[in-house]
Amino acid sequence: MKYRQSYFSNIYWHFTGSPENLDWNKIKMPKDILSNGVKIKSDNIAIKNLLEILDSKKLKATAIEKIENVYETERFCCVTDIPLKDLLLHKKYYGNVAIGFRPNSIHKLFNPVLYLNESFLYKVKLNVRHEYKKIEGEKSIFRLYVEEEKQINQEKLNKYFLNHVKFTVFSDKEDESFYQEREWRKLGDFNFEFSDVVALIFPKNEMKSVLDKLNKYSLDGISILSWEIIEKS
């Protein structure tokens, strides 16, 4: 049997139960997602969202993030390559329903997020202030970067790079660092075929009704899993 590293997955997962109307500019770590009484979507809504994804064969690019209130990303959709067992931690923030895609369909269009420590931003600012003494006023590294990129020919490349940057706290606690999410992003919508789908995950108590609804799709060869099975594996 061929040994394979287990710290990443060959299935790329998208969850359909994220809380609604989150202000991501105020969320600095995963535990902030569920602060102030915010809850993940109900299983019924998460299932409805998944069926809409299957109907359209599309992950819609609905996410936008800001980098230090200076640069706003383009709309993107995202997946995670967290190993199956560790998805039990992920679902706490993004719901109990997930769709898993084959790696070859993801590798062609998505890129992993570059996670940077927030303390790195502070250090870079200090270096910028030192090296650019002639610049009037206090400017953040990203404001300076965006102003300068307008003057060079690599504007599109720089913009693409910034769309994949995410600042976070690096911590050994599971609810304090977005690094644990191993996010991959695609700018714009992701159109897929059913042959790109590997697996679906639902709560066990919803399995019968979900299977009835899935009959209209061509899902041969796709695994249907429950969280209870994953917990016991």
Q: How many domains does the chain have?
A: 1
3-state secondary structure of 199: strand
The answer to whether residue 75 sits within a structural domain is yes
The answer to whether residue 50 sits within a structural domain is yes
Q: Which amino acid is at 3?
A: Y
The answer to whether residue 5 sits within a structural domain is no
19 token code pair: 């809380």
Q: Which residues contact 70 (CB under 8 A, 6 or more apart)?
A: 140, 142, 143, 146
The answer to whether residue 209 sits within a structural domain is yes
Domain extent at residue 207: 12-114+171-232
Q: Which amino acid is at 171?
A: S
Residue (of 68, 63, 211) closest to 143 by Cα position: 68
* pLDDT tens over the chain, length 233 residues: 555 556 667 899 999 999 988 888 788 889 999 988 899 999 999 999 999 999 999 999 999 988 766 778 999 999 999 989 899 999 999 999 999 999 999 999 999 998 887 766 555 554 544 444 444 555 555 565 555 555 544 566 677 778 888 878 788 787 888 888 899 999 999 999 999 999 999 999 999 999 999 998 888 889 999 999 999 87
The answer to whether residue 146 sits within a structural domain is no
The answer to whether residue 72 sits within a structural domain is yes
The answer to whether residue 210 sits within a structural domain is yes
The answer to whether residue 18 sits within a structural domain is yes
